[in-house]
């Protein structure tokens, strides 16, 4: 009879039939186990770096295994059987750059402001996912920026992520370790920083509603700027480098 870890491995490998069987037996797909899925094993070869991630890559549920390994069909099964999309799945899909998985999760009700919390069995816990002031929060947008996942960054902004998050921009500028091996040197961080400029340009044309439309979103959820005169987007720990001083070149055409 399949056990909980079998369900995690099934989601990791894309074994839809075994995953379905585990769900039929009543196993909880949000339950976490001390297990590092293959995507992290292959792309974060240093055990030291994996430990530095404080359980992010070493504690896996069926949801996070499918999201981290890009197993879209398994995610479809989980959504159809379980309904509510947990925040941790959104964060892992964004962190690993699986754009189509991230798109599916967001369109299935996942939160673009998802936070990787320590709630029981992968639930959201008591953390307010709308807060971007706490630099300790690990959320989908920050992970995508830190890892240089430009496509995921654009997708999250389109679905209402806080593009005014100073710390997210700072992470993209710092190119923090550990980076996943499959994304080293691909220029993703530079693209992410360019996206911040695009967002600022769109904001100047029509506020946050215009930002979401410019990045392919539909009706915008209200996003309140911390500064009534506009977003600061100032580099962490510095009084200079403010993105609001930048302007997108006029010759660049915004895509709707």
Taking every pair of Cα atoms in the chain, the longest distance, rounded to a whole number of angstroms, is 63
Per-residue model confidence (pLDDT) at position 231: 44
Per-residue model confidence (pLDDT) at position 101: 97
CB–CB of 246/197 below 8 Å?
yes
* Domain total of the chain: 2
Q: Which residues of the chain are under the pLDDT cut of 70?
A: 1, 44-55, 117-136, 176-187, 218-256
Per-residue model confidence (pLDDT) at position 243: 23
Are 114 and 163 found together in one domain?
Answer: yes
Per-residue model confidence (pLDDT) at position 41: 76
Are 152 and 212 found together in one domain?
Answer: yes
Are 187 and 116 found together in one domain?
Answer: yes
Are 238 and 121 found together in one domain?
Answer: yes
Are 79 and 115 found together in one domain?
Answer: no
Structural domain that includes position 76: 1-83
Residues found in the chain: 256
Are 242 and 202 found together in one domain?
Answer: yes
Query: pTM for the whole thing?
Result: 0.76
Per-residue model confidence (pLDDT) at position 230: 43
Are 211 and 247 found together in one domain?
Answer: yes
Domain C-terminal end among 67, 83, 99 = 83
Per-residue model confidence (pLDDT) at position 50: 60
Are 67 and 111 found together in one domain?
Answer: no
Put residue 198 in one of left, alpha, beta given phi > 0 → left and psi -120 to 50 → alpha.
Answer: alpha
Domain C-terminal end among 28, 57, 83 = 83
Q: With CA atoms as reference, report the closest residue to 152 among 101, 227, 116, 87.
A: 101
Q: Is the dihedral of CA 235, 186, 56, 4 positive or negative?
A: positive
**Which CATH number is 138's domain given?**
1.25.40.20
Domain C-terminal end among 52, 83, 114 = 83
Q: Which residues of 135-168 are buried (b: 16+ CB within 10 A; e: fewer)?
A: eebbbbbbbbbbbbbbbbbbbbbbbbbbbbbbbb
Per-residue model confidence (pLDDT) at position 138: 85
CB–CB of 202/214 below 8 Å?
yes
Are 41 and 115 found together in one domain?
Answer: no
């Amino acid at each position: 009879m399949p056990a909980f870890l079998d369900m995690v491995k099934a989601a990791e490998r894309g074994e839809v039939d075994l995953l379905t069987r585990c769900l039929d037996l009543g196993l909880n797909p949000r339950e976490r186990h001390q297990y590092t899925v293959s995507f992290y094993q292959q792309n974060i070869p240093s055990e030291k770096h994996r430990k530095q991630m404080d359980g992010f890559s070493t504690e896996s549920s069926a949801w996070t295994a499918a999201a981290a390994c890009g197993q879209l069909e398994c995610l479809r099964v989980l959504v159809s059987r379980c309904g509510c999309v947990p925040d941790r799945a959104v964060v892992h899909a964004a962190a690993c750059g699986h754009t189509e998985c991230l798109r599916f999760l967001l369109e299935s009700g996942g939160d673009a402001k998802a936070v990787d919390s320590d709630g029981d069995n992968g639930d959201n816990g008591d953390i307010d996912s709308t807060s971007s002031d706490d630099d300790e929060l690990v959320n989908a947008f920050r992970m995508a920026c830190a890892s240089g996942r430009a496509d995921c960054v654009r997708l999250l902004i389109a679905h209402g992520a806080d593009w005014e998050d100073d710390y997210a921009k700072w992470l993209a500028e710092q190119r923090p370790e550990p980076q996943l091996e499959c994304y080293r040197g691909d220029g993703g961080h530079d693209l992410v920083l360019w996206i911040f400029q695009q967002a600022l340009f769109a904001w100047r044309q029509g506020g946050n509603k215009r930002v979401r439309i410019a990045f392919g979103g539909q009706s915008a959820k209200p996003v309140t700027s911390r500064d009534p005169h506009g977003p600061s987007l100032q580099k962490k720990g510095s009084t200079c480098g403010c993105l609001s001083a930048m302007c997108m070149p006029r010759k660049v055409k915004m895509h709707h």
